[in-house]
Structure formats: structure tokens, C-alpha cells
Structure 1
């Protein structure tokens, strides 16, 4: 039994609890009850929730109202008592029990092994913040002040390892600092798209850009990171000095060109950081405002303008509905088609009583997060495996994938309403999830509007104000917006990295064929750690923060073991590196992203998947719990 400090119970707190419990998610309340009371009967009939549909929170659990009322009443009483005396009968469920609990909360079977990551997060043991005994003089340079860089800095600070951060921009925030186009937001619920160790009082279930930007700056500020960063500075070159066993890093910024020596580099430059601008003939001749969504001008006024959008990926799908009411005409050049799922919580605010509950009752917040993690992270992973016996591979990869396809088509038809003539122009000709699944925030309804024209072709040429589609049609525009994505396969393209024997990382990776052991280390480049590196991105959904936390946990643990051996340099053995990447490629070969005929930004010019992991979150989490020094070459 765990006993926390006794707290006074006031009428106001009790009244707020009563109001919150009335609105609370019932399956989440059930798991809170199990932990507070230790009574496993709360997981059995008649309290067992039914499986939710789609991405819905399933607030009622599909249970009769009288059962819901019984659960809410019991939860009110137990939470009230916990607030008074701090008693939690099951403070740290085992992995097996955690898997069972999540299975009951979801109304479906959760993979037993998944319980390990759930149990660790419930006990706040997933992302450790313990000191590390580093050798004197050992120091780290973190390149980038976005999500990965902030997380790395927090861990290094808690470890007591000296570090400095370099950031090109004037503030923290990464992609949420740069992307300020209308409608920019997250496609993962922000109670999940947040650090496991730094929750936040979110105003919406899916936050828009400004709130996300504020979150990352707040975490950086709360952890004192502004004292460790140099803004407005760019890393131009990093070369390994074999004689000194250090990295020589060249930077440019307000103080001019500088050179510094560091023991290790944490690259946190991000994946979606370099805008991709297609080579459209005549693009420079467009006389009006023209910009990539990642470079949106703060003073861009679209009121009454004829606006053209190139692309229909995640950025375009967000910006189009957001600006539709302002423009006089809109034309969208959408060469490829995207699958998009219903988005029931789009722009839905979190009710104040629920915000209060998430702040005041940690167990509720943790279980709410774990339910989101299963729904958005790994629930569909098994359905992304190709069934070689499936008879209709052109439309789906297996029976479950085909059911998803039909559900998404039915949704498209409903959203298009009277404009069923547009269905051929929006219906993808590849299996669902072959590209990252998007969430529909009004895209289908917007393209069906009278002043919007959807062109299922690429923009072939620009002739001043005239835009020529591949089919020869011409359109006039006042503003041109490129929603054409990023150079996702050319990792670390923004700097020159030179390792042992003068080998350049871009040559080792042959441009767009990046590989790393556990997405983190590369032979010949000692003490270079690539956060959100090759094959760590997510195609099956979920929060990319989860694998980044796993990477950082692993790297610091690796360094700790290296230091214990009296060494200070580490790099993976070539055979370990090769074997790991062979396993990655073999796993991808059996998944939807490499399905015949698929094209996506996950794959490089050779067709190899570079950006995504083939693993489930809990698989990668287990791979990165501890480092095996047998996988590495050490150097004192």
C-alpha cells in the first residue's frame, strides 16, 4: 500500500470532483477504481466496457446508464478518500496485470507484452532521470531545440552531463515554431502527444499550433533550458578528430563563425524540417505571394483572393478548410489521393471539469493517456501486415484492411453529399494506411463547395498568374501555396558530418539511404547520436515523442555503461548495424508501405523505407530499455 501526504478536503474540491466525475470517461474511471481499491472485480461483468468505434473516446464504455452511474458514484467516493489519505492499493500493477486492465478498458484484447510499457509509465519509470557518473571534461552538443532536443536536454541535465544546445531559430519549439499556417495542428491527441514526464493543461483534445508551441516553450522554460541554448546559430560542419577523440564543430551565428570541441553530439535536427519544393517550370515567374506552408508569412492576407494550393497531404488538408471562408476562389492541385479518417474531436474543447480532473487526479490522467496510446499507437499495427493469400491486393492487403477501406469510403460519400461526382477524384487507388492516415477536419466538405475546384493532376507549369495543370487546364491565381511536404528521407541534410577516416555521413548514407542501429548510432561515427533518426518515424499512428523518449533513455544508459568501463567513445559494430537494418527491411517488406504500386514519402529513391519504423511502440521500447556493450566498439 502506498500512502501519500494527507491533504485537507474542502467543499470546493469535492464539488469540482462531483462535476468532473459526471463527465468523465467511464473506462478510465474503472481503471482508477481498480488501482485505488485493489478490487479486480471492477474489471468483470457487468462493468466490462464494450469496444469503442474508430477513434472515439468511448466515454460511456457502451454500458447501461445504471451501471455507469454505479461506476461514477464509486469513483467519486474512492477518489475523495484518496485525496484525503493518499491510499492506493495497487500503486504499481505488474506488466501482466496492466495488460489485462488495458484490455478491459478498451473492450478488446491488448497484446500481453504491451503491458510492460503501460506498467512502466503508470509507475513513472519509463523515462528515468537519474544521475550518471560522467568522466571529467565530457560534454555534449545538442543540435536543435525542437521536441527531441528539449527531451535530450532534460535527460542530460538530470544525468549531470554538461551540454550546450544550438538552435538556428530564435526560440524552442521546432516544427511548431516554424509551421504557423492556418489550421496547423496535431493529428495525435495532445494528452498523448506530450512528454510522459511533463503533462499539460490542454484546452483542446487536438491542439492547434499556438498551444503546441506554448507547450514546448513552457517545458523548456520550466526545466531551465534557456540557460543552455544559443539561438540564431547554425551548425555548418562537424568533423571527428581521431587523435583527440572529439568532435570539432563549426557554427555560424550572431558571433560570426566559431569552432568548438565536444565529446558527443546529439543530433535533434528533426525529420520534417527542410521544405520540399518541387521543380515546377516557371515557379519563379508567379507575381503574387508564393510560399511553402512551413514558411507562411505572418502578414499574408487571403481575404477575397484567388488562392491555389499545390498538394493534398497533411498540411494542405489542414490549411484548405481553415482558409476556405476567406478566399473568393480556390483551386487545389492534388495529384495523389489520401485516405482520411473521421475526426470526431476536431477542434473540440476539453470541458473545464475534465481539465480539472486531469490536473488533480494523476491516475485518471495516466489511464486516459494509456487508452489513447493503444488507440492511436498500436491498435492497427497487426492489420498493416500483408496477407499473401488475400485475393484482392490492389484494393487492400488483408481482410481487416479491406473493412477499413469500405468504412472510409462510406465516410467519404457521406461527407461529399450531393457532390458524388468528386468521389473518383478523392478515392485512393491503394490500400488504406499505405501513406500516413490523415484525419479529416472538413476537407471533403470543403472541396465540395461551389468556389473550390479540385484538380486531380499535378501543377505542370506556372506562367505568371496562370497555372497550368498536367491535363492542360489553366487557372488564374493571386496567391500560390505549396503544401508539398518535406525532404523526409535526407536526414541531417542541413549539415556536413565527417567521421573516422574522413568519411562523410551523406556518402555513407548515399544521399537518401539513411540507416542507423536502433535509429541512433552509425559505425565510423563515434559518439554521434541521431534522435528521431532513420526508421524511427511512425506510419501506423501515434505520438513520435514515445520513440524519442526511448532513444534518449537508451543513449544515456549506453553512455553510462561506457563510462563504467573507463571508455568515452562508442560506436556500433558494423555487423550489428547491418543485421539490425536487414531486420528492419525484412519487416517492412511484409507491410503495407512496400506493397506493390505504393508511393509515399517514407521511401527513398530506391524504394527502401527510410523514415518509418516497422516496430510497435512497445517493441522498440523493449529494444531500448538497456544497452548491450557487446553490440559496440569502445575506445578510451
Structure 2
């Protein structure tokens, strides 16, 4: 049996009602999708709470790598697969609609975060221009995401190249690829999508790849016969755009169908299930059908089809990708890159291929290590901690030894994937092992018993300090009619205890 502290001096009565929350200051890093949602939630649902939010964004505008879902209807998407420009425009419009700009400071980068155990607060060093300053907060949320710190590939001679050097995550929109000889390095999601686009204007496109990958030629969540009409390039028909704008119910039903279709596809990523077996067969059948049409295609086919299951690596909507290898201006160099020279690429078999531009679709630093020092309890440096051991966070959002620090960010099989920090058989750290709804339900009612709680100094040793002076917050503020406790039937009585008006 646990002992009870009978020291009356340790028990201080708080002359506050039950339910009165302490003032909290929250600092959020990043004005991408997660940071934007945080600002909307605070403005729409916590306006009456004693909560102060500050979002710091290092760039001059809001961003985010991907906008997975839209929570407010948008009738102006022109394509089934939205472009980056449309996604950014949607985010900007949404930010203005909900007044999020008041919470966001642009061109403000966080350089360091240190936890002060005595104050139970984070001290955040922020840089703006040539000025550094310190922000002190109760809660620090890192919404920077893992796909934000892009890197050049570690290829000998890359710094020597005299032509145009581009990275998929830092694309130069002004560069003209017309009649250019282009090398494309990487066969991940970005490379698969860039290849067919370059082929439309470049004189030649040579992809340098070293690993096979499953391609979903028809896209992910392919539209069916009951979906809105689209053309061969997946643009919505103009009449559909008009109907989206004028018929909100029609747009809503389309959004529902998109979500159901995507979530239903999750089962294909569960090992050895009928859904996965069917997905493998479907992808292989489609890949063979497209690539078997020409000799160049058949040569690519022998290299591209993997021996690992669908979903081991990120599945990409490869619209036009496979068809590229049957075109006269497209080439595939398989595991054949030795070094980069001032004028091009030297292959492993001794050929010097000259290029006007080299595009690196080689991804991001996926080690999950913070890009700046985050120092938690007992001086633990999170970057050093995750350098020595696998990156690990409880449900992907909280980290041991990092009080009041949250992040917003699993597939087996023998393949090299950023899901496993670029390893072939390492621990999966990038994605959750269940469906979206599974994750939401798991987090809806947290297992607080999995956390260690430390009382603030103001409460002393009194674990009942929160009970306050015997009144609820609603009573103290005279909010609501306490007569509502008198009901006429069981249903009203039952619903009464789910009503926040009575207690808060």
C-alpha cells in the first residue's frame, strides 16, 4: 500500500476553481501543414483558453512538403493529382481565411532549444536576420517534418560540374530544359515524377538508378467510372470544375470517395495478405504490359521489377514514367555511376557521358536528427542520442527525456528505403504501422499511465492541488444554469454528464 504524506505544511489550498488551467505559451517550429493546423485549432477552439501560440517559420512564406488532406472544401483543384503550386495556393488561402498570420513569424529560424528543469520551461534561441533572441515557452512543438532538410548526393566530383546542377527539393523554375542533355539521378518518388516531365522538352534524359521499385502506373487511388470526368493527363473536365463550384454536395461526395479509396488501399501493405498479393500481381502485370512494347522497354523491365513486396518503399503514381523508357530521348543507366566530372558523368564501365544539366532526385536527410541542438533533461542532446541509437518517439510524437516536447511527423521487407533511414533491413522509424484512422483512434484517448508526471513547484507535494477551492470553473464564473441538473428522463440525465456547460 502506498504511503500518505501527512505533512499539513506541504498541502497548500489553491484558491481557484476546479478546471482553471494555468497559462501556457506554446512555440511551434514550422508553418507547414502541421503548423497551419495548430494555428487554426488555437484560433477556432482555444480562443477562450489562456493559451498563447507562436509559430516560427525560417522561410519567407508558409510551406510544407505535402498537404495530405484538405479539411475545408476547395472547388478549384484543376487536377486529380494537385500540383505543388495549387497546394501552396490552397494553404495560403486557408491561412488567410482563418487569420493564422497573427501567430506566424516568417524569416525566423530556431537555432537551439534547451529545457530548464527548475522553471519547467523551454528556452528557445531564435534567429531573425542578424539578430538572435530567446523565447521562453511551456511547450515546444517541432513541426519541421523529416522531408525538409534536403541534401546533395555523396558522389565524387559533384562539386566539379560546370553545367546546371539542380535538386528536386530546391528546383530552379527559371531553368529552360529545351534541347538540353539532362542526367537524372535517383528513382525515388521525385525521380519517378520528374522523368516524364523532362522528357517533354529536353533533348535527352538519362536516368541513373541503382535499385528497383514498384510503380503504380495508373496512380494511387485511381478514379473509377463513378468519379468526375478527367482527361488523359488527369485534368478535371471544365464542366466538372463548374459543378464543383456550384454543387457543394457533389464536391463533398467526391472528397469522401477519395478518402475511402485511399484508406481502403492500406491493407495492401500488410505482409502476405490477399490484398498485398493482389497488389503485387497488379503492379507487375501493368509494368510488364507497358514496358514489353519496345526493346528499350523490355531492357528496363528486367531491372525495374523488385523482389520485395509492394509498399516496402514508397509507392508512387508513376504517370508516364514507364512509357518514358520507350521513347527515343530517354535512357536508363543501371548501377552505373562512378563519378561526376566537369562536363558530365563517368560510368562504371568507363564511358564519359556529357550533360548540360544534372538533376539530383536524391531525397532528404532522413536520420530524424534535429537540425539544431535540442537539449532536454539532464543535458541530453537529442541529435547525439539519435546518432548513437535508433530514432524513437512514443507514437511518433513524444520523446523520453524531452519534457513537453512534441513532434508531428512501417514497412517491412528487404529493400532500401528512407522509411528505415536509408538501410535495407534496419528498424522502421518513418511511418506508422496502421491506417490513418487506427492512428487517430489510438491517440484519441492517450495512455497517460505511459508518462511520468512532475508537479510544478507551486503545488508542492500536494497531488490534489488541482481540486482548488471546491467550486467548478463554471460555478465560479456563473456560467450556465445549474438547474439543468434536473432532468425528466434517463436520456437527458445521461447526456448531462457529457455536457461541458455544467462543469467548465
TM-score range, shorter chain: 0.7 to 0.9
CA deviation map 1:147-177 (0-9, x unaligned):
111111111223132111111110012226x
Q: Does 1:409 align with 2:284?
A: yes
The answer for the alignment partner of 1:269 in structure 2 is 144
CA distance in 1, matches of 2:339, 2:84: 32
CA deviation map 1:452-493 (0-9, x unaligned):
1111115221121131233444311111110011122x2252
Deviation at residue 507 of structure 1 after TM alignment: 2.8
Q: Does 1:291 align with 2:166?
A: yes
Q: Conserved in 1, the CA contact under 8 Å of 2:58 and 2:107?
A: yes
Q: Does 1:171 align with 2:58?
A: no
Deviation at residue 617 of structure 1 after TM alignment: 1.6
Q: Conserved in 2, the CA contact under 8 Å of 1:305 and 1:329?
A: yes
Q: Does 1:142 align with 2:28?
A: yes
Which of 374, 377, 381 matches 2:266? 381
CA deviation map 1:29-88 (0-9, x unaligned):
xxxxxxxxxxxxxxxxxxxxxxxxxxxxxxxxxxxxxxxxxxxxxxxxxxxxxxxxxxxx
CA distance in 2, matches of 1:133, 1:194: 34
What is the SS of the residue equivalent to 1:372? helix
CA deviation map 1:324-376 (0-9, x unaligned):
12211221101112211113667423334444544555554444323222321
1:353-392 matched pairs, under 5 angstroms:
353-359=239-245, 361-377=247-263, 379-387=264-272
Give the direction of change, closer, same or farther, for the CA distance of 1:147–1:195 in structure 2 (3 Å limit).
same
Give the direction of change, closer, same or farther, for the CA distance of 1:325–1:355 in structure 2 (3 Å limit).
closer
Q: Conserved in 2, the CA contact under 8 Å of 1:307 and 1:478?
A: yes
Deviation at residue 386 of structure 1 after TM alignment: 2.9
Q: Does 1:469 align with 2:347?
A: yes
Give the direction of change, closer, same or farther, for the CA distance of 1:628–1:408 in structure 2 (3 Å limit).
closer
Give the direction of change, closer, same or farther, for the CA distance of 1:328–1:167 in structure 2 (3 Å limit).
same
Structure having greater relative contact order (Cα 8 Å, sep ≥ 6): 2
CA deviation map 1:374-412 (0-9, x unaligned):
3212x233343334xxxxxxxxxx554343323222222
1:254-333 matched pairs, under 5 angstroms:
254=129, 256-333=131-208
CA distance in 1, matches of 2:416, 2:76: 39
The answer for the alignment partner of 1:527 in structure 2 is 404
The answer for the alignment partner of 1:485 in structure 2 is 363
Give the direction of change, closer, same or farther, for the CA distance of 1:363–1:325 in structure 2 (3 Å limit).
closer
CA distance in 1, matches of 2:98, 2:388: 36
The answer for the alignment partner of 2:420 in structure 1 is 603
Give the direction of change, closer, same or farther, for the CA distance of 1:133–1:476 in structure 2 (3 Å limit).
farther
CA distance in 2, matches of 1:503, 1:227: 33
CA distance in 2, matches of 1:449, 1:491: 39
The answer for the alignment partner of 2:300 in structure 1 is 422
The answer for the alignment partner of 2:377 in structure 1 is 500
CA deviation map 1:505-542 (0-9, x unaligned):
1233336722111211122211111011xxxxxxxxxx
CA distance in 2, matches of 1:148, 1:313: 24
What is the SS of the residue equivalent to 2:452? strand
The number of aligned residues is: 417
User: Comparing both structures, which one devotes a greater share of its residues to helix?
Assistant: 1
Which of 208, 215, 228 matches 1:340? 215
CA deviation map 1:247-301 (0-9, x unaligned):
1000112251111111111111012111132211111111111121111123212
Q: Does 1:625 align with 2:501?
A: no
What is the SS of the residue equivalent to 1:140? strand
Q: Conserved in 1, the CA contact under 8 Å of 2:198 and 2:205?
A: no
CA distance in 1, matches of 2:375, 2:416: 32
Runs of 4+ aligned residues of structure 1 deviating over 6 Å after TM superposition are: none
Give the direction of change, closer, same or farther, for the CA distance of 1:198–1:229 in structure 2 (3 Å limit).
farther
CA distance in 2, matches of 1:463, 1:255: 37
Give the direction of change, closer, same or farther, for the CA distance of 1:133–1:196 in structure 2 (3 Å limit).
farther
Give the direction of change, closer, same or farther, for the CA distance of 1:251–1:406 in structure 2 (3 Å limit).
same
